[in-house]
Amino acid sequence: MNNNNSEFEPKIVAFVCNWCTYAGADLTGTSRLKYATNVKIVRFPCTGRIDFMLLLKAFAQGADGVIVSGCHPNDCHYTSGNFHARRRWITFRGLLDFMGIDVSRIQYSWVSAAEGAKWADVVNTTVANIRELGPYTEYQKVAGYLDKEEYNG
Amino acid sequence: MDKLREKAAALLADGTVTMVLGYEEGTNKPRPVFCHTAEQASKLVYSSQCINNLAVYLTKKEIMGTGKVAVIATIPTLRSILQLSVENQLNEENLLVITVTDKEEVKEFANFAEIESYIADFQLKLDAKEQEIIDKLEGMSREERFKFWMEEMSHCFKCYACRAACPLCYCTKCIVEENRPQWINPWAAPLANMEWQINRAMHMAGRCTGCGACGDACPVGIPIHLLTRKMMEDLAPEFGFTPGQPSKNGNALSTWKADDKENFIR
Amino acid sequence: METKYISKNGLNEWFSQIVKSGKRVYAPVEERGRVEFKKVQALCEVADEYIQTTQSIKSAVFPRAEVLFSYEKENGQVKVDDFNPDTVKETVLWKVHPCDAAGFKPLTAIFNWDYKDKLYNAHLEKTTLVTFSCAKADKSCFCTSVNGGPGNTAGSDVLLTMLPDGGAIVEILTPKGEALVQLAASAFENDKGEDKSKYLADVPQAFDIEEVRARLATAFDSPVWKEQSERCLGCGACAFVCPTCACFDIQEDAHGSKGKRIRCWDSCGFSLFTKHTSGHNPRSVQSQRWRQRILHKFSYMPDRLSVFGCTGCGRCSRACPVDMNILEHITSITKK
């Protein structure tokens, strides 16, 4: 755990779908709702397109937390993309937890295009949560492996 | 054993099959053997020591050829055969499946449906040593689990024996060999190894039949079969399939139900 | 070349002096039910009752993944950080077997064939091998069939043969070995005239390597390759545990404007090993790849590099998930 929480600014990457959450985030802005600036948003056509490896890549590249967000079930712009995504996340989360990767650093949500306030809340809550957890140095240290690779591991 | 050898020899002698795939004595334990003539059938053995999963050869066209092939299958192999069949990778007409029962009788299956009812009697469960590791892991904190797996992963040198031994890893170009873009780093380093195993476990989600061939094949003794097994055990109640039985509801990750349950999406 | 004797206490003294000198010491350590080379600080950590480690120690000079250079692009310029040989630390490989030490000869031949590999050579220059003769062998060992032996000195800087009293016969073979001995010169006593061969394992010769080479010269189209390779799964286990296999791949770990060029292990057994950019694969079936493995080690390498590519350590056979027992395969070639 990090003792310098007051100086630590979490780096969050958000993988969101274009039709719901991205539009919702837009609405947050046009509504002039203030929310934490720690998030870098990556836009996908649909949550069904979000490969599970992307989340791990985000952590390996320095993200301390990840948000994955899309349309509510039954509201997917492509009908069933988010259903596929949900299955994938259920599967992936179980595996990650078994391997000891901190799943509490990944926040999944359904945020529709009308839920500007919800998006702000999701981001703020996630940032506060990650600030509490501290930087994900455990994972980032391993990702820097070849910097000092000793040949027998 | 004699009955098995006689059966195999007969099948080859009268031309019913062009090859019998079974086990022969190896250096320390039985190993796969490919019998092309009736004489070679005398090498066949069958025991609880036969742990290689022969189903891995059934998707190799260069081995199977074009004629009918017989395979002497252990229970884990039978499970894999069923899963491969559900995934449309096997031609039922060109495959003759044989097993040896607990009473040492040679049993020939008329079709895959018969195999399914036969293995329903054999419950899939981990052996004591593996259960011990799972229990130990489940008792650990998250940080301890991460340390455990990263320590194991640091030994992996990316030989891909796990992939090579798995009957369900039959992709002609594996994702780790894809380099536009390069998704998973193919070299050996703790994180790259972890990403590879995570990816493999995800690609096995709902498909793994729990044979343990991956863990057995690993030359440096990493218990990776526990990853795919754990996934299988966890997903079975969620997505409605029985561990060890072929997934009749379609592939777990390419199907969905409107009422899939989760407790972490806000 | 000098022979001395060292007592049990002397060995302890010498080992601790080596560690004190700041050199990294890698030795066989038992963990997770296996014996593998690991960095050690004390002699008591070193494993005892075992035949062979699972992996070879070639990773000391040819790591499974190493950075060739790194780069960063900035303002239209590229800054390259090349491999610096000065960063290689002095290393002692303790308790390798004669078959491991012998493996350095083909490795050095490959890495100095036309281009002198600066990473390999930098590592090798700073590496000293302290080899222990083998008192035991198992049925996978066949060093005596490939110009080796349980007490052979080839490739070693110092060779120790353990004696019943806990001490050892010490053969100091190279200037590097001499320098290492000098770290605790007083620990060594005069040669007691013991005959090394009394304490060596019995490894009966299974085949004549020159006969194998002669047969292989005309065996390219033989059906034996298909027969032998049928059960091979095409993984890289044999190549990776082998002390002489040196095939590698060049990879890139790129992140936007920064990156590293990496060399990592590869295996001729992988199905895509020889796939060309055109899509053609000259070794598209496993029998061709198996043939390549055997011919490379027992025919092409002696032809081109004057050294065989196998030291008879038996690791490949032990590691193989489907028991591709190389000793069995080579012996059967001679019997055809």
Contact call for B260 and A86, based on CB within 8 A = yes
Which tens digits make up the pLDDT trace of C75-92?
999 999 999 999 999 999
HSE toward the beta carbon, residue C299, CA cutoff 13 A: 17
The burial class, CB within 10 Å (0-12 / 13-18 / 19+), for C209 is: buried
Which tens digits make up the pLDDT trace of B227-237?
988 888 888 88
Specify the CATH architecture of the domain A12-148: 3-Layer(aba) Sandwich (3.40)
Contact call for C67 and A146, based on CB within 8 A = yes
- Any alpha helices (H) in chain C, and if so which ranges? 8-20, 98-111, 118-125, 175-182, 209-216, 224-229, 237-241, 286-295, 301-305, 315-319, 326-334
Shortest distance, CA B157 to any CA of chain C (angstroms) = 7
DSSP B86-142: HTT---GGGEEEEEE-TTS-EEE-SSHHHHHHHHTTS-----HHHHHHHHHHHHS-H
Residue B253 falls inside a structural domain? no
Q: What is the pLDDT of residue B62?
A: 86
pLDDT greater than 90 at residue B243: no
What DSSP designation does C37 have? E
Within this chain, do residues B206 and B160 fall inside the same structural domain, yes or no?
Answer: yes
Which tens digits make up the pLDDT trace of C15-55?
999 999 999 999 999 988 899 999 999 999 999 889 999 99
pLDDT greater than 80 at residue B132: yes
Give the residue-averaged pLDDT of C150-156: 94
Sorted by sequence, the CB contacts under 8 Å of residue B261 that are 6+ apart come out as B238
Give the residue-averaged pLDDT of C139-158: 95
Residue A147 pLDDT level (bands cut at 50, 70, 90): low
Whose CA is closest to B245, among B127, B128, B115?
B115
Q: How far apart are the first and last CA of chain A?
A: 25
Q: Could you list the residue range(s) of the whole structural domain that residue C173 is in?
A: 2-334
Q: What is the pLDDT of residue A2?
A: 47
Q: What is the pLDDT of residue B179?
A: 85
Q: What is the pLDDT of residue B125?
A: 81
Q: Could you list the residue range(s) of the whole structural domain that residue B228 is in?
A: 128-239
Residue in A closest to B183 by C-alpha: A53
Q: How many domains does chain C have?
A: 1
Give chain B positions within 8 Å (CB) of A56.
195, 198
Question: Structural domain boundaries of chain A?
Answer: 12-148
Residue B251 falls inside a structural domain? no
Give the residue-averaged pLDDT of C218-244: 94
DSSP B48-66: TT--S-GGGGTT-HHHH-S
For the question of an ipTM over 0.95, the answer is: no
Residue in A closest to C68 by C-alpha: A146
Exposure string of C225-254, with b = 16+ CB inside 10 Å and e = fewer, is bbebbbbbbbbbbbbbbbbbbbbbeebebe
Q: What is the pLDDT of residue B237?
A: 82
Give the residue-averaged pLDDT of B134-141: 93
Q: How many domains does chain B have?
A: 2
Sorted by sequence, the CB contacts under 8 Å of residue C259 that are 6+ apart come out as C70, C71, C252, C253
Distance CA B12, CA A142 (A): 55
Give the residue-averaged pLDDT of B52-63: 93
Q: What is the pLDDT of residue C254?
A: 87
Sorted by sequence, the CB contacts under 8 Å of residue B150 that are 6+ apart come out as A100, A142, B190, B194
Residue B196 falls inside a structural domain? yes
Within this chain, do residues B138 and B86 fall inside the same structural domain, yes or no?
Answer: no
Which tens digits make up the pLDDT trace of A37-52?
999 999 999 999 999 9
Within this chain, do residues B47 and B107 fall inside the same structural domain, yes or no?
Answer: yes
DSSP A102-139: -GGGEEEEE--TT-HHHHHHHHHHHHHHHHHH---HHH
Distance CA B262, CA B265 (A): 7
Distance CA B56, CA B58 (A): 6
pTM, rounded to two decimals: 0.93
Residue B94 falls inside a structural domain? yes
Whether cis (ω within 30° of 0) applies to the bond prior to A45 is: no
Which of A21, A54, A87 best probes binding to B when mutated, by most B CB atoms within 10 angstroms?
A: A87
Residue B264 falls inside a structural domain? no
Shortest distance, CA C64 to any CA of chain A (angstroms) = 7
Q: What is the pLDDT of residue A142?
A: 87
| Last residue within a domain, chosen from B119, B137, B162 | B119
Contact call for C260 and A152, based on CB within 8 A = no
Q: What is the pLDDT of residue B234?
A: 84
pLDDT greater than 80 at residue C315: yes
Give chain B positions within 8 Å (CB) of C39.
none
Q: What is the pLDDT of residue A145?
A: 65
Distance CA B78, CA B73 (A): 6
Residue B245 falls inside a structural domain? no
Angle at A121 between CA A118 and CA A127, to 5 degrees: 145
B43 touches chain C (CB under 8 A): no
Q: Which helix (H) or strand (E) holds B35?
A: strand B31-35
Distance CA A36, CA C157 (A): 63
- Tokens encoding B46: 């069958």
pLDDT greater than 80 at residue B248: no
Mean per-residue pLDDT over chain B, rounded: 91
Q: What is the pLDDT of residue B244?
A: 75
Whose CA is closest to B162, among C96, C235, A84?
C235
Contact call for B161 and C236, based on CB within 8 A = yes
Distance CA B69, CA B83 (A): 18
Within this chain, do residues B100 and B188 fall inside the same structural domain, yes or no?
Answer: no
Shortest distance, CA C307 to any CA of chain A (angstroms) = 26
Using CB atoms, pick whichever of A93, A107, A145 lies closest to residue B190: A145
Residue B265 falls inside a structural domain? no
Give the residue-averaged pLDDT of C185-201: 92
